[in-house]
């Protein structure tokens, strides 16, 4: 897939995934430049831009180039910007948002394909985000494990996090969560190995916060295989780490990437604007 770029500079950040893109102003983006950005995104799975100064409307316009936008069901958006979700952790809040390996909104029938996150305020130190390539993790498994996983599906749900007894219900959470009972308790079956619809590359697709169990198995029966895959997929050789700066914007591919927002900046404030892009049914 690797080709030359004439409108942007692309610097990979790790062997598994991630690249910094420079030489572009996202507020004044032409179609030819975006085509190269999109190509780099498919190749590197996570791309980030430094020193951007964009408004919520400009972030929305950029995100729309990746596809139709998806509203997040559990947090109220910014006023006047229905697809822009403020992700805020105040100085005196202990729990953060996204503090565990996961793929965004995998609990939906059509999970989101892309997340676009922009840094408004960052701590002096800490608050990095880790990313893991689920396609690199899948490639590293044996043929026997590939055969074992072929056709296996898992039950995805938001209930473990957002449901009546979920993680966010009685916790010291940084933001007010909105109620959406239908979304909280819905369950969908997705393959635990999905094929990327644009690259054709296979990757692991299951994450601890949003998977209840494997299809036709109990929670206890599912746990050993799921735990092995969770641990395997987040080994250092499959990961990259992003140090945020003011004005950094990141886009990652939820179809083949998991991420983890580190919660190591007690007493400091962090604020991001997040937009998600609609995806399709995994296969």
Neighbours of 220 (CB within 10 A): 8
CA distance 20 to 217: 42
Residue 175 per-residue DSSP state:
S
Neighbours of 76 (CB within 10 A): 13
What is the edge-to-edge ordering of all strands in the sheet holding 239-242? Answer: 239-242, 129-133, 257-261
Neighbours of 63 (CB within 10 A): 24
Strands 257-261 and 129-133: antiparallel
Strands 85-89 and 114-121: unpaired
Element spanning 224, H or E:
helix 219-233
What is the edge-to-edge ordering of all strands in the sheet holding 153-157? Answer: 187-191, 153-157, 211-214
CB 101 within 8 A of CB 230: yes
Cross-strand bridge partners of residue 264: none
220 phi and psi angles, rounded to 5 deg: -65, -40
Cβ burial of 118 (10 Å; 0-12, 13-18, 19+) is buried
Catalytic sites, residue numbers: 102, 104, 259, 274
Using the structure block, give the residue that is written with the tokens 């395997």.
232
Q: Which two tokens stand for residue 154?
A: 């898992």
Residue 237 per-residue DSSP state:
G
């Amino acid at each position: 897939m690797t080709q030359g770029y004439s409108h942007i500079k692309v610097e990979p950040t790790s062997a598994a995934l991630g690249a910094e893109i420079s030489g572009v102003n996202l507020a004044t983006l032409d179609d030819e430049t975006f085509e190269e950005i999109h190509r780099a995104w498919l190749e590197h799975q996570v791309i980030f831009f430094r020193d951007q100064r964009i408004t919520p409307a400009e972030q929305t316009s950029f995100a729309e180039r990746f596809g139709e936008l998806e509203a997040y069901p559990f947090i109220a958006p910014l006023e006047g910007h229905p697809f822009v979700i403020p992700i805020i952790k105040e100085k005196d809040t202990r729990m953060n948002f996204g503090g565990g390996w996961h793929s965004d909104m995998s609990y939906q029938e059509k999970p989101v394909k892309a997340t676009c996150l922009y840094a408004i305020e960052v701590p002096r130190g800490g608050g990095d985000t880790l990313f893991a390539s689920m396609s690199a993790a899948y490639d590293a498994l044996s043929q026997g494990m590939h055969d074992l996983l072929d056709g296996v599906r898992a039950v995805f749900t938001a209930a473990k996090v957002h449901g009546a007894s979920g993680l966010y219900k009685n916790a010291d959470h940084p933001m007010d969560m909105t109620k959406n009972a239908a979304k909280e308790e819905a369950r969908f079956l997705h393959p635990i190995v999905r094929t990327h619809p644009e690259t054709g590359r296979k990757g692991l697709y299951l994450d601890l916060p949003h998977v209840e169990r494997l299809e036709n198995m109990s929670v206890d029966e599912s746990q050993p295989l799921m735990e092995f895959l969770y641990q395997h997929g987040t080994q250092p050789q499959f990961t990259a780490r992003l140090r945020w700066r003011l004005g950094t914007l990141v886009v990652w591919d939820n179809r083949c990437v998991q991420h983890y927002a580190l919660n190591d900046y007690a007493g400091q404030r962090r604020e991001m604007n997040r937009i998600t892009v609609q995806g399709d049914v995994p296969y």
